[in-house]
Amino acid sequence: MQPEYGSSIHLDIPFYRQHFNFTCGPACLMMAMKYFDPGIPLGKEVEIDLWREGNLVAVLGTSRYGLAYSGAVRGFSTGVTSNTGGVDFVDRIVPPLSGPDMQMLMNHFYERRTRCRKLGVREKQETITGNTILKSLSLGHVPLLVTNSSFFCKEDLPHWVTVTGIDDKFLHFFDPLDTRPRKRKIGLPALREFVGFHGAQSMVEVWK
């Protein structure tokens, strides 16, 4: 999968590592916020505040609307993209949620979506490709992507990463699970498997 555009884009995004096993989304959002506002104070308290705002309650992970809402209420512009239009990745989690837990999760998800719409958060439903990501970067946005943690460890769980750049061969990104700044990359032919969790794609874009 080679982007249609001829240029490569790399952003000097600062790294922030997650301090809890459920705060990958907040940590990625914090990298984007720090990129656009270097003076913004960050730390574990902010990390947990973002998680409280964006988590899916019945599962510890954060939704695309939760992260977009947290960015928007702090003065950043945000947008969400999904290939399903549905409730992120929860129907792919094993064992699956059911009954009251799923209903609570859906209620919380749609409540965050309503808040995002009131704040003017942009929404798109489309397949996320290398060109989608390149277009986002070319607009000066920082894309946050859901992938599968199995790319980094033995767990099969949804995991947020922060995209830092793309060229004609690789997608470059930060994994907030790393304990130190370490630019990672994945070949463009593998993007179809890398972007999303068992086929459910979610992306949050942040800009100022």
Alpha-carbon gap, residue 135 to 128, rounded angstroms? 11
Between 115 and 154, residue with greater pLDDT: 115
| 89 band by pLDDT with thresholds 50, 70 and 90 | confident
Alpha-carbon gap, residue 3 to 1, rounded angstroms? 7
Alpha-carbon gap, residue 208 to 200, rounded angstroms? 27
CATH top class, domain 9-207: alpha beta
Alpha-carbon gap, residue 143 to 28, rounded angstroms? 9
| 98 band by pLDDT with thresholds 50, 70 and 90 | confident
53: nearest Cα among 32, 83, 36, 30? 30
User: Considering Cα of 179, then 182, then 142, then 201, what sign does the dihedral take?
Assistant: negative
| Helix, strand or coil, per DSSP, at residue 131 | helix
pLDDT in tens, 29-84: 999 999 999 999 999 999 999 999 988 776 778 999 999 999 999 999 999 999 99
pLDDT in tens, 144-199: 999 999 888 888 889 999 999 999 999 999 999 999 999 999 999 999 999 999 89
Domain boundaries, the chain: 9-207
User: Which amino acid, one-letter code, is at 23?
Assistant: T
Q: Rounded to two decimals, what is the model's pTM?
A: 0.92
